[in-house]
Amino acid sequence: MSAKQKTQETTSYKPYSWQAILEFRAMWVVLALGLVLPFVISKPLATEIMVYALFALAFNLLLGHTGIISFGHAGYLGAGAYAGAMVVYYGGVGVWVSLLAAMAGGTLVAVLIGLLAVKRKGAYFAMISLAIAQMLYFLALSPFKRWTDGEDSLKLPPLSVDFPFHIDLSDQLSLYYFVFVIVALAVLAQWRILSSPFGHALKGIRENEDRIRACGFDITRIKFLSIIYSGLFSGLAGGLLAIYLGAASITILFWMTSGIVVMQTVLGGTHTFMGPFIGTAVFLYLRNNISNYTDRWEMWVGAMFMALILLFPEGIWGTIVQKIGERRRPSAS
Amino acid sequence: MELSWEIILMQVIMGLALGAIYVLLASGLSIIFGLLDVLNFAHGTFYMLGAYAMFTAISLCGNFWVGLVAAVVIVSLIGGLFEITLLKRLYGTDQIYPLLLCFGLGIFIPDIIKMAFGLIGKVVDYPAMLQGATFVGNLILPKYRIFLVVLMALVLLALYVFMKKTSIGMIIRAATRDRLMVNCLGINVSRVWTVGFMLGIGLAALAGAVAAPMVQTIPNMGDEMTVEAFVVVVIGGLGSLGGAALGGLILGQVVSFVSLLAPDWSNVSIFLTMALILVLRPRGLFGEEGRD
């Protein structure tokens, strides 16, 4: 199959290249904008954008940076949400422990999918990850109904944080800033991971797997780690989502969640670092507004997504980065 | 529960009928992937379109068989149109883009159907000659299920003959192996792809059309089927028709028996079967070495 596949000319970024610097600045600009976001749009929407942006960035670790097509991310997010909610619901533990449990939940599912599918490429990985996530959905729906409450979501009591200082999470603004700080830290952690030698090996695998193997890298191990990182951050996003929603609901596990994160990521630009973040913000803002006017938002989203794939496959931020690159090229060469 | 051999045989037949639908659906998916290298995320959507085309055709002309043919032809043409106008532009790009285009189509079309037909399910009647059941001794054989199994066998036979004995089938097989070489031999590969895509979509539509009387025809009936078709081809081995057939039949039996013994687990069992096969034989039952 690899012979059949032609990699599109991608805007890959190198360490300390103009692109890495641009992305680095964009990251700080976006995070700075995040500080004032709840005063520009509604607080719940702002919180939702932060949570899903973290999820999209985690997803893009696989799609954009390693070149693995995953359609099973609903499984990571849902496992995170349920693990986080269940330890609170049954164990009565605090928010921090709940987030740790969420990360553990996401990682566990990543290990499962990784073990089954890490050696499969392209479409195969997409199908297997999708199937495993769907299995979790059906498990939570009926056989494990006793613990997950099936179609009725698992509802959480009002939460508050006591360490390091008191934060009342039932207040919308406090909740936003709580989520924002965690998401910002996770974004920085992902930036750190991707700037490491490991992060560059990931990009090497995306561009030319055989060559990286020939260089002596253990492809399977690197890919597996990348899946784990993706599951870890997705699980964290799931834990935050459960806190934001005040519940772990079964729709999080449904495969449309995986589809939506793909759309958000591609909308922003898969071959960039901040693209998924920007794509998520635009996607959720549009969805919020379109659904005020029509019940048929799926039709509009589907049509716009097809147009995006055909006309701007690099996405919003990806296209901007590309244009800047084209403008630089004459002087650079 | 007492498990008499009648009940067991009955479940086998139910499983065969369900398996027949999986086989039709998955063989279409497999042909499209093998030939075009496109993972058709809208496969379940075309299955749903098949059911709705069937409903529309029957309500217009009143005949089940005319409806069946019309459904397959109409939906294949829609598929062909999609391939020629949109999908074709993305060949030669990264594998993810055609996949995502199909995914977008799979979100777009069900909403159109919701607008055109409403959210409430449509009923497609069994044809008069296939209603009810025949009795063999104590055994109740629902005629329609038997028909499905026979239809599947005939379609598989026809596909086999088409692929192995006709010149266009030979070209399709050759193009699956090496598209560049076939192009060099002066054959218009792009037209072969359109034919292959329409063939795959036609099989999905046929699956939807024959499933319509047994299941509820609703706009989202295809969502689950896309995933289940994926599971079948993962079990059978991607790109192998024999694999799709065997995988579909296995899955039909698994679902049929698990729904009888542990109904809660029937949906989960599909995926557990897949996971088990992946552990035992990672490339699928009939998967070729290296095609992963």
ipTM: 0.90
Instruction: For A42-52, give one letter per residue: b (16+ CB within 10 A) or e.
Output: ebebbbbbbbb
pLDDT tens digits along B203-233: 999 999 999 998 889 999 998 899 999 999 9
| Residue A61 to residue B264: CA distance in whole angstroms | 35
Given a cut of 50, whether residue A1 has pLDDT beyond it is: no
| Residue A186 to residue A239: CA distance in whole angstroms | 13
Measured in residues, chain B has a length of: 292
In a domain, B121, yes or no: yes
Task: Say if residue B213 is preceded by a cis peptide, omega within 30 of 0.
Answer: no
Count CB neighbours of A292 within 10 A. 8
- Which position has the token pair 């296995």? B250
HSE, side-chain direction, 13 A CA sphere, residue B69 = 5
Taking the Cβ of residue A69 and every Cβ of chain B, the question of whether any pair is shorter than 8 Å is answered with: yes
* Coarse DSSP helix, strand, coil percentages of chain B, rounded to the nearest 5 percent: 75, 5, 20
Print the domain residue range for A122: 18-327
Contact A6 B94 (CB under 8 A): yes
Query: Token pair of B289, please?
Result: 């070495």
| Residue A287 to residue A329: CA distance in whole angstroms | 37
- Closest partner residue to A120 (CB to CB) among B104, B108, B292 is B292
pLDDT tens digits along B238-263: 778 889 999 999 999 999 999 999 98
The torsion region of residue A229 among left (phi > 0), alpha (psi -120 to 50) and beta comes to alpha
Percent of chain B at pLDDT > 70 equals 98
Contact A296 B114 (CB under 8 A): yes
In a domain, A7, yes or no: no
| Residue B145 to residue B17: CA distance in whole angstroms | 5
B contact residues 212-271, partner A, Cβ 8 Å cutoff: 223, 227, 230-231, 233-234, 238, 264-265, 267-268, 270-271
Given a cut of 90, whether residue B200 has pLDDT beyond it is: yes
In a domain, A144, yes or no: yes
Predicted pLDDT at B10 = 86
- Segment A138-155 shows an average pLDDT of 88
Is residue A312 a contact partner of residue A1, using CB atoms and an 8 Å limit? no
- Segment B111-140 shows an average pLDDT of 85
Q: Which residue of A has its CA nearest to B231?
A: A131
In a domain, B14, yes or no: no
In chain B, which residues have their Cβ closer than 8 Å to the Cβ of A127? 39, 230-231, 233-234, 238
Instruction: For A5-32, give one letter per residue: b (16+ CB within 10 A) or e.
Output: eeeeebbbbeeeeebbebbbebbeebbe
Nearest to B108 by CA among B129, B80, B78: B78
Question: How close, in Å, is residue B56 to chain A by CA atoms?
Answer: 22
Contacts 24+ apart (CB under 8 A), A325-330: A325/A11, A325/A18, A325/A19, A328/A18
- Closest partner residue to B94 (CB to CB) among A8, A139, A142 is A8
Predicted pLDDT at A330 = 63
Interface test with A, best of B102, B234, B251 (most A CBs within 10 A): B234
For residue A331, what are the contacts with CB-CB under 8 A and spacing of at least 6?
none
In chain B, which residues have their Cβ closer than 8 Å to the Cβ of A121? 292
| Residue A308 to residue A258: CA distance in whole angstroms | 18
- Segment B73-84 shows an average pLDDT of 96
- Closest partner residue to A131 (CB to CB) among B179, B274, B282 is B274
Radius of gyration in angstroms for the set of CA atoms belonging to chain B, rounded to a whole number? 19
- Secondary element (H or E) of residue A154: strand A154-155
| Residue B239 to residue B159: CA distance in whole angstroms | 14
In a domain, A45, yes or no: yes
Predicted pLDDT at B176 = 82
- When comparing pLDDT for B77 and A152, which is higher? B77
- Which position has the token pair 């552990």? B279
- Closest partner residue to A123 (CB to CB) among B39, B279, B282 is B39
Dihedral sign of CA atoms B270, B256, B284, B189 in order = negative
Give the count of domains, chain B: 1
Give the count of domains, chain A: 1
Is residue A251 a contact partner of residue A136, using CB atoms and an 8 Å limit? no
Print the domain residue range for B102: 20-218
A contact residues 214-253, partner B, Cβ 8 Å cutoff: none
**Cα A149 to Cα A89, A140, A248, B224, distances in angstroms:** 12, 8, 10, 22
In a domain, B263, yes or no: no
The pLDDT confidence band at residue A79, using thresholds 50, 70 and 90, is very high
Helix (H, G, I), strand (E, B) or coil at B139: strand
Predicted pLDDT at B283 = 82
Predicted pLDDT at A130 = 94
Given a cut of 60, whether residue B112 has pLDDT beyond it is: yes
Helix locations, chain A, DSSP H? 18-40, 43-60, 73-91, 95-117, 122-141, 145-148, 172-195, 197-207, 209-214, 219-245, 255-268, 275-293, 297-311, 315-332
Contact A134 B104 (CB under 8 A): no
pLDDT tens digits along A93-118: 999 999 999 999 999 999 999 999 99
In a domain, A56, yes or no: yes
For residue A146, what are the contacts with CB-CB under 8 A and spacing of at least 6?
none
Interface size A-B, in CB pairs within 8 Å, comes to: 132
Is residue B99 a contact partner of residue A123, using CB atoms and an 8 Å limit? yes
In a domain, B267, yes or no: no
In a domain, A91, yes or no: yes
B contact residues 173-192, partner A, Cβ 8 Å cutoff: 179
- Secondary element (H or E) of residue B249: helix B241-261
**Helices A122-141, B266-280: inter-axial angle, 10-degree rounding:** 140
Taking the Cβ of residue B93 and every Cβ of chain A, the question of whether any pair is shorter than 8 Å is answered with: yes
The pLDDT confidence band at residue A259, using thresholds 50, 70 and 90, is very high
In a domain, B247, yes or no: no
Taking the Cβ of residue B91 and every Cβ of chain A, the question of whether any pair is shorter than 8 Å is answered with: no
Taking the Cβ of residue B65 and every Cβ of chain A, the question of whether any pair is shorter than 8 Å is answered with: no
Q: Which residue of B has its CA nearest to A150?
A: B264
Contact B107 A301 (CB under 8 A): yes
In a domain, B157, yes or no: yes
Nearest to B103 by CA among B86, B117, B120, B116: B86
Predicted pLDDT at A5 = 44
Is residue B201 a contact partner of residue B28, using CB atoms and an 8 Å limit? yes
- Secondary element (H or E) of residue B142: strand B139-142
Predicted pLDDT at B2 = 63
